[in-house]
């Protein structure tokens, strides 16, 4: 095998929920000992247990790896989901996973990205490359082409094709542009802890050590909403005012837009949730109220009340 060889292991699965964790640990350990890139593809054969969730659905368009907890950007009130991969092809779905489209490669991949899912036909992306001097790029073709717009940035968020918010390396605060990243204005002294600023119905949400910064005027002004909660990942936004944020002590939930927080799930004891969330990913299913956690080289976990 040469350096570009990829080991693919295809495993049929039928009602194997109780066995999957041990199986995946053994497979990962063996593959890592070989020292070659690898992928595990679990093919469900009509399971009636929760092992059926381990089904590859991206039509082979997404692969590679990520190093932070910010590569997935989704529309909680629609069917859009975008993957901004570090090493491997990125892509997206606009119909809940029925069909997938690939994004054009851009040298080494992404640290995070934001999509304007508010548009009837989403086309605008604002993305940050990983460990590349804070380079930011825009696309008005859903990633078919990219345009470099600046350097030394640390986080990104998008309202429309021209209106973005971001943080800048070695500078305090939140910055905003209304001309497609040609010029920037500082709009807040608040300092987000994460790398993606999430937008839902015109409201922007971020995370910080003090609580959840929120903007109600398309990023022009910001304030911490509600009581303080130390967090660096999220917010994961439900269809209503339900939010989830994650910090070193686990998942915290608010049913009133972040005004009052309570712990919803502990973090897995094997995971050290660092700021800003390197080598792990966390998620929340607002419909079933299930929390998920995964980490590089470890099997995924879920927490269901």
Q: Six-digit token pair at 130?
A: 């990983």
Rg (CA), the chain: 19
Rounded distance between C-alpha atoms, residue 68 and residue 280, angstroms: 6
What is the Cβ-side half-sphere exposure of residue 257, based on CA atoms within 13 angstroms? Answer: 11
pLDDT for the residue numbered 15: 66
Domain boundaries, the chain: 1-56, 57-304
Q: Quickly state the pLDDT bin for 139 (edges 50, 70, 90).
A: very high
Q: Six-digit token pair at 49?
A: 């247990």
CA 32 to chain centre: 25
Rounded distance between C-alpha atoms, residue 103 and residue 133, angstroms: 21
CA 67 to chain centre: 11
Average pLDDT, the chain: 83
pLDDT for the residue numbered 74: 86
Query: For the chain, how many residues are written?
Result: 305
What mean pLDDT do residues 108-129 have? 93
Q: Quickly state the pLDDT bin for 1 (edges 50, 70, 90).
A: very low
pTM of the model: 0.79
CA 168 to chain centre: 19
22-46 pLDDT, tens per residue? 787 788 888 888 887 777 777 666 5
CA 71 to chain centre: 4
CATH superfamily of 57-304: YVTN repeat-like/Quinoprotein amine dehydrogenase (2.130.10.10)
pLDDT for the residue numbered 183: 97
pLDDT for the residue numbered 36: 78
Q: Quickly state the pLDDT bin for 51 (edges 50, 70, 90).
A: very low
């Amino acid at each position: 095998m040469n350096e570009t060889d990829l080991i693919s292991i295809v495993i049929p699965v039928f009602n194997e929920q109780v066995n999957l964790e041990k199986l995946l640990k053994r497979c990962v350990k063996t593959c890592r000992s070989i020292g070659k890139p690898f992928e595990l593809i679990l093919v469900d054969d009509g399971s009636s247990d929760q092992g059926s969730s381990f089904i590859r659905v991206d039509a082979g368009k997404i692969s590679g790896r990520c190093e932070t907890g910010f590569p997935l950007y989704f529309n909680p009130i629609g069917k859009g989901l975008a993957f901004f991969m570090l090493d491997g092809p990125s892509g997206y779905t606009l119909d809940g996973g029925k069909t997938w489209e690939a994004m054009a490669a851009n040298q080494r991949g992404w640290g995070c990205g934001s999509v304007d899912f508010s548009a009837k036909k989403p086309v605008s992306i604002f993305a940050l490359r990983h460990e590349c001097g804070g380079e930011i790029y825009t696309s008005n073709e859903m990633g078919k082409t990219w345009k470099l717009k600046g350097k030394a940035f640390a986080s990104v968020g998008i309202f429309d094709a021209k209106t973005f918010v971001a943080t800048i390396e070695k500078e305090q605060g939140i910055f905003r542009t209304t001309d497609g990243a040609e010029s920037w204005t500082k709009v807040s002294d608040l300092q987000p802890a994460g790398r993606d600023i999430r937008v839902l119905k015109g409201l922007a949400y971020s995370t910080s050590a003090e609580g959840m910064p929120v903007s109600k005027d398309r990023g022009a002004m910001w304030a911490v909403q509600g009581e303080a909660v130390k967090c660096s990942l999220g917010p994961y936004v439900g269809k209503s005012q339900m939010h989830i944020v994650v910090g070193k002590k686990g998942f915290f939930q608010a049913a009133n837009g972040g005004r009052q927080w309570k712990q919803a799930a502990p973090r897995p004891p094997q995971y050290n949730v660092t700021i800003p969330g390197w080598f792990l990913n966390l998620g929340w299913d607002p419909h079933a109220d299930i929390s998920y956690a995964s980490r590089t080289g470890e099997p995924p976990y879920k927490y269901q009340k």
